[in-house]
Chain A
Amino acid sequence: MTRRRRLLALCVASLSCVLSVRVHGQVTSQRLTAATSEPQNWLTYSGDYQSHRFSLLDQITPANVKNLKLQWVYQSPVAGNWQTTPLVVDGMMYITQRPNDVIALDAVTGRAFWIYRYTPNPNRIVCCGANNRGVAILGDTLFMGTLDANLIAIDAKSGRQLWKTEVATTESGYSITHAPLVIKDKVIVGVGGGEYGIRGFIAAYNVDTGKEAWRFYTIPGPGEKGHETWEACTPKSDASCDPEAWKHGGGSIWMTGSYDPQLNLTYWGVGNVGPDYAGAQRPGDNLYTASVVALDADKGTLRWHYQFTPHDVYDYDSVQVPVLVDNWGRTGINALVWANRNGNYYALDRATGKFLLGRPFVKVNWMSEFDERGRPIQTPQPPGQPTYPGNQGGTNWYSPSFSPRTNLFYVSAWEDYASLYGPSPVEYKEGRNFTGGGPRPYAPVPGAPGLARAPINTWTEAAGHGAVIALDVATGEQKWKFNMTDVTDSGILTTASHLLFTGGREGYFQALDARTGTLLWKTNLGSAINSGPMSYRVGNRQYVATVSGLSLFVFALEE
């Protein structure tokens, strides 16, 4: 072969390589950062780093949404509450199903290309079901956290495992249920297990090797800033006071964080303290539980934190998805806004953590007001009296949405809902339940069956109801409300054409006018919707996808 021919061959080879890469849609870090510039795709759990769960696609409109038709259904063979949000990359859809399967589908037809099956350690300890909420992607690699606290990299073309890293010890109660977040050359996950006395952390791993790059403990150890909020036991302390409470102080991570590329900060919500209810065992504020932490994305160092519920005794996890809003209220401040499980809507300066606003979006009686630094003045209710919001919260992990078009923040809420709390001391035993008592529903019929709902809503109006609440992002003022009869665990999607999609326990998938809350379209999918809807486009067609029960439903307008 002549030198010229060799060059030509090399050129052809490299060209085909480049073409191949483009056809298969290599997801670069730049594409993740600029995700909103390719609205046909859904590249991260919440759609973009700002976690707006907002789509710029506008083919489906308030005028034509009534013409939506079911395009295809994927039925999972695995029973149980299904909470995944699909990713879509250039016509390929990636979903997870229980316990830790990943499936690559044709986003137009629903036909599968491959399935990756992972069997978690049978000795795993996971609270509240074998949930997995999705994957992350970079290049041609997918990343999934597992119920037995491993992080796995999977070839997006073949479904073959590339590497597996043990993040934590599953037998001690650690797990991973949320979709990872990729930032530059690192994949970031946190650990669940807040009901088992874990010491929570967020950690970053090299995308190519799985090697740990940094780790931030959500429960600071001796000598670390914040450790002083795990106060020492004194002779006046309760007999149950544990001088080493921080060692099993909880602070789980079970929802995906957000990222500001300009500040290079990644924001994560931290779960409940351990034990959940027995506060006397752990005097102090118990940082960084029930908080948001802002971490340097390269080093994992803490830039700032804000604690929503100091010394939480209500299980008010602060794992909600952090939503980043630029030029908040036209103040020039780039904010982080948050509807918390504790019933308040917050705005914080996301560069400094400065408290800007706190305002209830549902009935709240565990606190009365905020001091000038944004610390809540707590008002514990007497024994036997209801605490609002109840144990499941004013909202919970359900993805909210922010529409830059309406400047409204949308949250799935539980209204008129309260719990009675009965703390009791609990001894820490590795891998054992470590809640320290338990709440019970504040309901008018003692001795009757409990609060299980759907498909028969036996508690109706007596034990609260669900709602979509639209808040002015700058003031927290309620702009409109869409009431449901049953409660809702559904996330919310908004679109550029002023549509809002959401579900609920009743099994309806409904489209509202994002400006007014007016119902525009609904269909009964037959089972509770427990995840967040998302939207994508293939060719010239916009699709909307949601999970209901054991099935993924995909809708589009009739052609």
Chain B
Amino acid sequence: MQKMIDLAVLVVVVATAGSMAVAAQQAAQLHDSQYPDVDIAHGASLYTARCSVCHGAQGDGIGGVNLRSGKYRNAITDRDLAGFIRAGSQAAGMPPFALDDADMAGIIAYLRNMNSFDAATVKTGNVARGRAVFEGKGACTKCHRVGRLGSHVAPNLTDIGSVRSAGSLQRSLLEPTSQMMPINRPVRLVTKDGTVINGRRLNEDTYSIQVMDDRERLHSLRKDDVREFTIMKTSPMPSYKDALTSEELSDLLGYLLSLKGL
């Protein structure tokens, strides 16, 4: 009996989802490049169930494929994307997915919005004003770089709007340490000849470490040649919680979210 009740509920859900999908398609046609929230939410749950086992919860589980960017080499248009998902890719080892139209609309909406899915809960402001804060009062370019402007000392932000969610970026501005990627932890290295290098790791393996130092110089060091290696867990970036007004913060966030690469 339990099974029959489940089945009945399922039929109702499917019927409802079907009509919602039609409405969603109409809305999508009315608003070019916009995806209804209900489709995005639906796609998010589908993604978790069907895609995340290989692509990972953050969309970067497969080397060289970053789903969060929303832009795909083999799928410029949504139609391309649907075709790719239905066919799979033998070369890449991706199986075909026989999604119905409603599910496909959802998964595409989510994939195109994966990076900004939690943006609805975050207030974002004016991009141009945010840029002015970034380059002016916030003095962000003293350490960060966007395009050709700014320093290499801190992580490059040219495509930060593609790789970080709105929520994560907001928290970065308020509590920088909480969002600091482990690779960006400040390091201090002292070589066997006494040279001191302070900077940020770009990469590290068992035998070597690659560093951007605080004078924007690249170093690749053999660990055999290093006498001291200290990793600090506190970000050198100041909190902007009290340094900027709430409007300035939301404008700055809007600007960061607009940075999708060149």
Q: A433-B50, A444-B182 are in contact. Are A450 and B207 (CB under 8 A)?
A: no
List residues of chain A with CB within 8 A of the CB of B57.
438, 440-441, 450
Query: For B61, what are the chain A residues with a Cβ–Cβ distance below 8 Å?
Result: 450-452
User: Are B48 and A438 in contact, with the CB atoms below 8 A?
Assistant: yes
Q: Provide the residues of chain B in CB contact with A79, threshold 8 Å.
A: 91-92
Interchain CB contact under 8 A, A449 and B66:
yes
Known contacts A122-B96, A126-B93, A452-B60; A462 and B182 CB within 8 A of each other? yes
Taking the complex as formed, is A61 at the interface, i.e. its CB lies under 8 A from any CB of chain B?
no
CA distance A101 to B163 in the complex (A): 37
User: In the complex, what distance in Å separates the CA atom of A130 from the CA atom of B90?
Assistant: 8
8 A Cβ contacts from B185-209 to A: 185, 201-207
- Let me know if A463 is at the binding interface, CB within 8 A: yes
Q: Measured between C-beta atoms, what is the minimum distance from B156 to chain A in Å?
A: 13
Q: Are B68 and A449 in contact (CB under 8 A)?
A: yes
- The yes or no answer to A484 lying at the interface (CB within 8 A) is yes
Pairwise interchain contact A457-B60, C-beta atoms closer than 8 A: no
Do A486 and B205 touch across chains, with their CB atoms under 8 A apart?
A: yes
Chain A 36-93 residues near chain B, CB threshold 8 A: 78-81
Say which residue of A126, A426, A506 sits within 8 Å of B95 (CB atoms): A126
Q: A485 at interface (Cβ–Cβ under 8 A)?
A: yes
Interface centre among B3, B183, B201 (most CB of A within 10 A): B183
- Kindly supply a per-residue 1/0 record for chain A positions 442-484, scoring 1 wherever the CB is within 8 Å of any chain B CB and 0 otherwise: 0111111111101111111111000000000000000000011
Contact of B58 with A457 in the complex, beta carbons under 8 Å: no
Q: Mark B195-233, 1 if CB is under 8 A from A, else 0.
A: 000000111111100000000000000000000000100
The B82-122 residues at the A interface (CB cut-off 8 A) are 88, 90-93, 95-96, 118
Across-interface contacts of A269 in B (CB, < 8 A)? none
A447 to B3, CA, bound (A): 38
Q: Which B residues from 49 to 66 make CB contacts under 8 A with A? A: 49-50, 52-54, 56-63, 66
* Interchain CA distance A131-B54 in the complex, whole Å: 13
How many chain A residues touch B (CB < 8 A): the figure is 59
Given contacts A98-B93, A456-B203, A508-B205, contact A438 B52 (CB under 8 A): yes
Which residues in B have their C-beta under 8 angstroms from that of A81?
A: 93
Contact A433 B207, CB 8 Å, known A78-B91, A99-B90: no
List residues of chain B with CB within 8 A of the CB of A455. Answer: 203
CB of B168 within 8 A of chain A? yes
Number of interface residues of B (CB under 8 A): 48
Q: Is B52 a contact partner of A448 (Cβ separation < 8 A)?
A: no
The A contact surface, by secondary structure, is: loop
Residues on the A chain within 8 Å of B2, using CB: 233, 239, 241, 243
Residues of A within 8 A of B50 (CB): 432-433
- Confirm or deny: B165 has a beta carbon within 8 angstroms of a beta carbon on chain A: yes
Closest to A436 in B: B49
Q: Does B237 sit within 8 A of A, measured CB to CB?
A: no
Minimum CB–CB distance from B74 to chain A (whole Å) comes to: 14
Is A302 part of the binding interface, using a Cβ–Cβ cutoff of 8 Å?
no
B180 within 8 A of A: yes
Residue from A99, A123, A462 with most neighbouring chain B CB atoms (10 Å): A462
Which residues does chain B contribute within 8 Å of A522, judged by CB atoms? Answer: 207
Knowing A126-B93, A445-B182, A450-B58, say if A457 contacts B205 (CB, 8 Å): yes
A385–B205 CA distance with the chains assembled, in angstroms? 29
Hey, which chain A residues are within 8 Å of B118, CB to CB?
447
Could you list which residues of chain B lie within 8 angstroms of chain A, going by C-beta atoms?
A: 2-3, 10, 48-50, 52-54, 56-63, 66, 68, 88, 90-93, 95-96, 118, 163-165, 167-168, 171, 178-183, 185, 201-207, 231
Known: A128-B93, A485-B204. 15 other contacts (CB 8 A): A122-B90, A243-B3, A438-B53, A441-B57, A446-B167, A449-B68, A450-B56, A450-B60, A450-B61, A457-B204, A460-B182, A460-B183, A460-B204, A463-B182, A483-B206
Jot down 23 A-B pairs with beta carbons below 8 A, ordered by A.
A78-B91, A80-B92, A127-B54, A129-B54, A243-B2, A433-B50, A438-B48, A447-B179, A450-B56, A450-B57, A450-B61, A451-B56, A452-B60, A452-B61, A452-B62, A452-B63, A457-B183, A459-B181, A460-B204, A461-B182, A463-B182, A486-B205, A508-B206
